[in-house]
Amino acid sequence: MKRKLTQRGRERRAQLMERAAGLFAAQGYHPTSVSDVVESLGVGKGVFYWYFESKEDLFKEILSSSHHELRRRQQAAIGDEPDPLRRIELGMRASMSWFAENRHLFNLFGFAATEERFRPVLRQNEEVAVADVVKHLKDAMAEGHIPDGDPAVLAHALIGAGRHLARTYLYEANEPAEAVADAAVSFTLYGVNGRPRG
Amino acid sequence: MKRKLTQRGRERRAQLMERAAGLFAAQGYHPTSVSDVVESLGVGKGVFYWYFESKEDLFKEILSSSHHELRRRQQAAIGDEPDPLRRIELGMRASMSWFAENRHLFNLFGFAATEERFRPVLRQNEEVAVADVVKHLKDAMAEGHIPDGDPAVLAHALIGAGRHLARTYLYEANEPAEAVADAAVSFTLYGVNGRPRG
Amino acid sequence: MKRKLTQRGRERRAQLMERAAGLFAAQGYHPTSVSDVVESLGVGKGVFYWYFESKEDLFKEILSSSHHELRRRQQAAIGDEPDPLRRIELGMRASMSWFAENRHLFNLFGFAATEERFRPVLRQNEEVAVADVVKHLKDAMAEGHIPDGDPAVLAHALIGAGRHLARTYLYEANEPAEAVADAAVSFTLYGVNGRPRG
Amino acid sequence: MKRKLTQRGRERRAQLMERAAGLFAAQGYHPTSVSDVVESLGVGKGVFYWYFESKEDLFKEILSSSHHELRRRQQAAIGDEPDPLRRIELGMRASMSWFAENRHLFNLFGFAATEERFRPVLRQNEEVAVADVVKHLKDAMAEGHIPDGDPAVLAHALIGAGRHLARTYLYEANEPAEAVADAAVSFTLYGVNGRPRG
DNA sequence: AATGAATGAGGATTCATTCAT
DNA sequence: AATGAATGAATCCTCATTCAT
């Protein structure tokens, strides 16, 4: 598959993904047909299969490319900040603002978890995310900012907490991203340190 | 619809629901066909439509009847316990053990949230659950066990926390129900009281 | 099949036929299910198959028994009237009043003509009706009331005209039966004689 | 729906309609399945739903497009004939020859009258037909060719008579179209004038 | 790159009919 | 005579995918 795409081709592809993500989130993956997607863009069906191997493939692409995008946001926010705990905070804030802008994706990830064939993508996203955080945590430990411990467990907890807060307060309760980010950061660092810093 | 069912009929119906719930949880709602369900029971396709109006109807039935069952478990556990906080604790423990036995339902509820037509059922379940807890909380406030506050907010928090812990530790991490129940109870009462009791 | 039926049995059977005729006329033969019929009477499905071999059989029964009923009405009206032309007139008037009372059957006969399997019943009804009229016409010719001619052709014309007038004015235009009968009788005798009797 | 069709597409669509009309007429609407139609053309099932929304939709299309075709025939026959009574005659003759070529449609229209959902289409066809004739009748009255009267009533009578003659003599008795047309025209003009023109 | 057309397996649902009680 | 339950073929329709142009 892997076509070489022109600029225009890349735009078309992105357009299809975005439209599909919106429809999947609104109506569900299965209730949304490939026809729905292409018709809503006013193009023929061939277009779809020019850019994607299958509907399933498209969905997986959405899942992983969303994660890529989120990660780019985190990295941009972190820049070359030297303090590892501060890097974690910046990443968390960036994530929260991205979640806020992409609330509809919660449904997609929620759905993906219910079918076996999509779980591998979720797992892979997860691994990448954990590895990122683990890196900062190890640095923090090495530099003595936080007590030693299993960085993977901490990373999972941290990510899980952030995601849960996002889902609960951004998606379900519609709170402002700023406030949720504050809560997440505070909880995160508390948790990481084991107790409030005096 | 509303048929008069004999004993045998009620059993068949329950059997269909249980089998369908299992398949839906394992493969997803859409990928599971009505044929899958009836064939796995070795009965004709008509049987399904004798007991349910549609596949959608069956799924809604599963959602709400699961909630009914959970609630029966809570009520049985609570009995006529007079202390309202203790009632909450008993309810939480009962829920946790039910969650442990019905881990597969997490997938169903997760999926239900992704399609508009199923959300009303979820909302209704939620309302009932909240009302139950609110009752106990009001009693606890009236009797001076906990400070006054908005009982609905507390109830939501309590239920949300319990459900999240269950999903995280029972479903994803496979911890023993007992341990998770302890954590949930402790967290719950902390939260309710605003601080640890000395 | 041919069961020996008790009085109650005959009533049940008649009740089923009447209800079915009503539903068939209102919704169409195919869109009306056997379940519709029995449910609308609040009885089980077994009842239906106790009295009729099949849905098709029931419909044929309705067609031919309706015709029987009409014929009984005609014969009762004719009694032992000696004048053959008067017998035709009385038969026509009786038919018209029966048509008026059973307007809904037009739909059934109209439908029956569209499916091959029901046409034989219609044809048989037709033959009986024609034979009846032919008898009177032959008498009228023998007695010199009308000129000789092919009585079968005349009978067909006569029946066709009557039926068309009934459909047009009773069913579609909702005219009173009396008036339509007058028109039919007048037309009929005109036609038979070739010109008005001075 | 409303697709843009290529030449080939329009042909396919017409082919489907013609084949379906034939099968519906021969076997009845309900006994003819969508599979029957597509299989008899050796095409896939999806083709049907590419061109029609549903079986019901197709049937309605047949009903109204048949009427359109008949009307086109009438208009072609009438051309720019200036005499309104002559226009009616030409229309009647054209209709009769079209009826003769499309005898099978009698069954379809007969069936359509037996189910509520199809009656609106029949009614609409009727209205158009009546309006056409009314126009000519009004002209004829204005020009003094026929006495004043309610043109709608006359139009209904005229159409009804023509249709009945067609059904009786073309469809049931298989007479030649010419002869039936003569009879219809003669009857029609007699009727319109109230008596033969000297 | 893109379109209209076509495929055909698969899915939900209906329903005439039969069966056990 | 009658009921609730069961059967399973048949039906309409959908839709991911492919093809010809």
Q: What is the pLDDT of residues A44-98, one digit of tens each?
A: 999 999 999 999 999 999 999 999 999 999 999 999 999 999 999 999 999 999 9
User: Which sign does the torsion angle of CA A73, A74, A77, A80 carry?
Assistant: negative
Residue D93 within a domain:
yes
Residues B84 and B44 grouped into a single domain: no
Separation in Å, CA of B106 to nearest CA in chain A = 9
DSSP code, position D27? H
Residues D78 and D156 grouped into a single domain: yes
**Tokens read off for D178:** 């010419």
Name, in order, each residue with C-beta under 8 angstroms of A98's C-beta and a sequence gap of 6 or more. A69, A70, A73
> In CATH, what number is assigned to the domain containing residue B126?
1.10.357.10
Residues A35 and A70 grouped into a single domain: no
**Nearest-CA residue of chain D relative to C106?**
D114
Identify whether the C-beta of residue A85 lies closer than 8 Å to the C-beta of residue A145: yes
Residues C130 and C189 grouped into a single domain: yes
Residue B58 within a domain:
no
**Tokens read off for C134:** 């032919």
Residue A159 within a domain:
yes
Residue C198 within a domain:
no
Interatomic CA distance for residues B186 and B169, integer angstroms:
15
**Around Cβ D25, how many Cβ atoms within 10 Å?**
22
Q: Which of A185-189, B51-55, D25-29, D118-122 has the lowest mean pLDDT?
A: A185-189
Residues C183 and C97 grouped into a single domain: yes
Is it the case that chain C and chain D have 3 or more CB pairs lying under 8 Å apart? yes
Q: Which parts of C79-197 fold into alpha helices (H)?
A: 84-101, 105-112, 119-142, 151-165, 177-193
In the numeric block, the tokens 């599909």 are attached to: A20
Interatomic CA distance for residues B85 and B154, integer angstroms:
13
Interatomic CA distance for residues C165 and C186, integer angstroms:
12
Is it the case that chain B and chain A have 3 or more CB pairs lying under 8 Å apart? yes
3-state secondary structure of B127: helix
Residues C144 and C75 grouped into a single domain: yes
**Tokens read off for B76:** 């049985």
Q: What is the pLDDT of residues B71-111, one digit of tens each?
A: 999 999 999 999 999 999 999 999 999 999 999 999 999 99
Residue A198 within a domain:
no
Residues D22 and D103 grouped into a single domain: no
Residues A76 and A42 grouped into a single domain: no
Residues C72 and C154 grouped into a single domain: yes
Q: What is the pLDDT of residues B147-170, one digit of tens each?
A: 888 999 889 888 988 888 898 889
Instruction: Categorize the per-residue pLDDT at C83 as very low, low, confident or very high, splitting at 50, 70 and 90.
Output: very high
Residue A40 within a domain:
yes
> In CATH, what number is assigned to the domain containing residue D46?
1.10.10.60
CB of B160 within 8 Å of a chain A CB? The answer is yes
**Strand F: which of residues 49-68 in chain C lie with Cβ below 7 A?**
50
Ramachandran quadrant class, A28 (left: phi over 0; alpha: psi -120 to 50; beta: rest)? left
Closest nucleotide to B45 by C1' from CA: F8
Sheet strands (E) in chain A: none
Using an 8 Å CB-CB cutoff, list chain A residues near B107: 113-114
Separation in Å, CA of C76 to nearest CA in chain D = 30
Residues B83 and B23 grouped into a single domain: no
Identify whether the C-beta of residue D23 lies closer than 8 Å to the C-beta of residue D108: no
**Which residues in chain D come in under a pLDDT of 50?**
193-198
Interatomic CA distance for residues B117 and B59, integer angstroms:
11
Domain count of the fold of chain C: 2
Give the rounded percent of residues in chain C with a pLDDT score beyond 90: 68
Residues C62 and C46 grouped into a single domain: no
Q: Is the CB of A9 under 7 A from strand E?
A: yes
Q: Is the CB of D35 under 7 A from strand F?
A: yes
| Residue A192: predicted pLDDT | 55
Residue B162 within a domain:
yes
**Tokens read off for C47:** 């009842």
Residues C173-177: contacts with CB within 8 Å, 24+ apart?
Answer: C176/C100, C177/C96, C177/C97, C177/C99, C177/C100
**CA torsion angle C177 C180 C185 C191 (round to 10):** -150
3-state secondary structure of D168: helix
* Residue of D90, D86, D96, D32 whose CA lies nearest to D58: D32
What domain range includes position D2? 1-53
Residue C102 within a domain:
yes
Residue B29, phi then psi, degrees to nearest 5: -65, -55
Using an 8 Å CB-CB cutoff, list chain D residues near C107: 113-114
Stretch C41-64: mean pLDDT:
95
Name, in order, each residue with C-beta under 8 angstroms of A187's C-beta and a sequence gap of 6 or more. A161, A165
Using an 8 Å CB-CB cutoff, list chain A residues near B63: none
Instruction: Categorize the per-residue pLDDT at A195 as very low, low, confident or very high, splitting at 50, 70 and 90.
Output: very low
**Tokens read off for D26:** 């021969």
Residues B76 and B142 grouped into a single domain: yes
